[in-house]
A = this chain, B = another copy of it.
Amino acid sequence: MTSKLKNKSILIMVDGFDIRYYDPTIMPVMAHMARNGFFKTGNAIFPSLTNANNISIACGCWPDEHGVTTNCYYDDQRQEAVFLEHADFLTTKTLFEKASQAGQKSALLTCKSKTTKILSNGVCFSVAAEFPEQEIREKYGDPPPMYSADINYWLCDIALDLLKNRDDLDLIYLHTTDYPMHMWPPEAPDSIAHMKKLDEYLRLFHEAAPEYTIALTADHGMNYKKKCWDLAKACGNRGIELEFSVSPVADRLLKHHRGFGGVAYVHLKSPSDQEQVVKILQSLDGVETVLDKDQAAEKYSLLASRIGDLVVLPDEDTVFGDLPEESELLAEDYRSHGSLHELQIPLLLYNYNGQPPKFKEINHNVDVSRFLFTTS
């Protein structure tokens, strides 16, 4: 089976672009593209965290096919959580590799270095704004701080340069950071300035390369959170030690979310603990549902071998992570994601050739990237 881009395309993955950040009056260019192209409010893939979604988009398939369900995983040799940052975790080819096999060239521009570590195969040009290489710094200047909105504009400027000057490229994958969404709700002036600026880049991209298809989607939404549970401590305090509890949202960007997120993968010391652990977890205020790995994998198209023994789903206000005590009330301005409550995202396609997208067929972010390719 081969996959080939239908048209030169820029695929913009705006990290953390909850649909509530989309206001047509603030983003008139995006609104224009929505009206004259394809737009739908759709769903991210669960869990609503970067890797599971970013890699689904970049591979054009669901996590049960590409294998990545988390930003970090429990390494039972080292008995600790390890960041998932290597292409070896992929159980399928990326769209960049498929395009490359069809003789098409891809560039990967991302704020987060974990993205280039996982997705660089098949890419002929890549930049991670978090740690750019020397030649990138020389050409584009040093990037603004990782914990800023400005780093997104620095990356967009590179995309713009490629659109103007790299005729050989067929696909540009542009992945911003969600630091602004972690920091600011949609109505905050700083957020409005950020979304306006991203919108202006959409105009610049289209003007620079009017032949390009523009695709835009997101990996997850964002919500205020009120309370965090350390599930290992909570279970320990109630009489059962866990092997480990992973917060799959956790990555190296601690200032975004302190490593907390709205989902946990629980590893049991023994299968015989399961019944009692489920009972304890379900008794915790804010826990909505506990699924065993097979139920969760089946329901959400995940890989059962990579989500622990139990998947824990909280309400909108609750996150999980490592704490000094079993639980903690969070600061009022704390915002994060990971749960079923951060799934609503935009799905945008504009300036496509040939058969237009059908409303009923574009439902998740992964459908947006799939649409850019023909598979035969």
Interface residues of A (CB under 8 A from B): 24, 35-36, 38-43, 45-46, 62, 288-289, 295, 298-301, 313, 315, 340, 343-344, 356-360, 363-364
Contact = CB atoms under 8 A, between A and B. Distances in A.
B62 A360 contact: yes
B358 A301 contact: yes
Given A41-B43, A41-B344, A343-B41, A360 B35 contact: no
Given A62-B360, A301-B360, A343-B41, A289 B46 contact: no
25 contacts: A24-B315, A35-B288, A35-B289, A35-B313, A36-B289, A38-B299, A39-B340, A40-B43, A40-B343, A41-B343, A41-B344, A42-B43, A42-B363, A43-B359, A43-B363, A298-B358, A299-B357, A299-B358, A299-B359, A300-B359, A300-B360, A301-B358, A301-B359, A301-B360, A360-B364
A24 B314 CA distance: 13
A332 B41 CA distance: 27
A292 to B, nearest CB: 13
Given A39-B340, A46-B359, A299-B359, 18 more contacts: A35-B289, A36-B289, A38-B299, A40-B43, A41-B43, A41-B344, A43-B359, A43-B363, A45-B360, A62-B360, A298-B358, A299-B357, A300-B359, A300-B360, A301-B358, A301-B360, A344-B344, A360-B363
Contacts of A360: 45, 62, 300-301, 363-364
Contacts of A41: 43, 343-344
Contacts of A299: 38, 356-359
A40 B357 CA distance: 22
Q: Number of copies of this chain in the oligomer?
A: 2
Nearest to A313: B35
A23 to B, nearest CB: 11
Nearest to A41: B344
Q: Considering the complex of A and B, which 8 residue pairs feature the smallest CB-CB distances, nearest first? A: A363-B363, A35-B288, A35-B289, A300-B359, A301-B360, A299-B359, A41-B344, A299-B356
Contacts of A289: 35-36
A26 to B, nearest CB: 14
Contacts of A24: 315
Contacts of A62: 360
Contacts of A301: 358-360
Nearest to A289: B35
A35 to B, nearest CB: 5
A313 B359 CA distance: 15
A366 to B, nearest CB: 9
Residue of A42, A46, A360 most packed against chain B (CB within 10 A): A360
A309 B54 CA distance: 41
A358 B315 CA distance: 20
A217 to B, nearest CB: 15
B43 A356 contact: no
Contacts of A364: 360
A287 B154 CA distance: 36
A40 B344 CA distance: 10
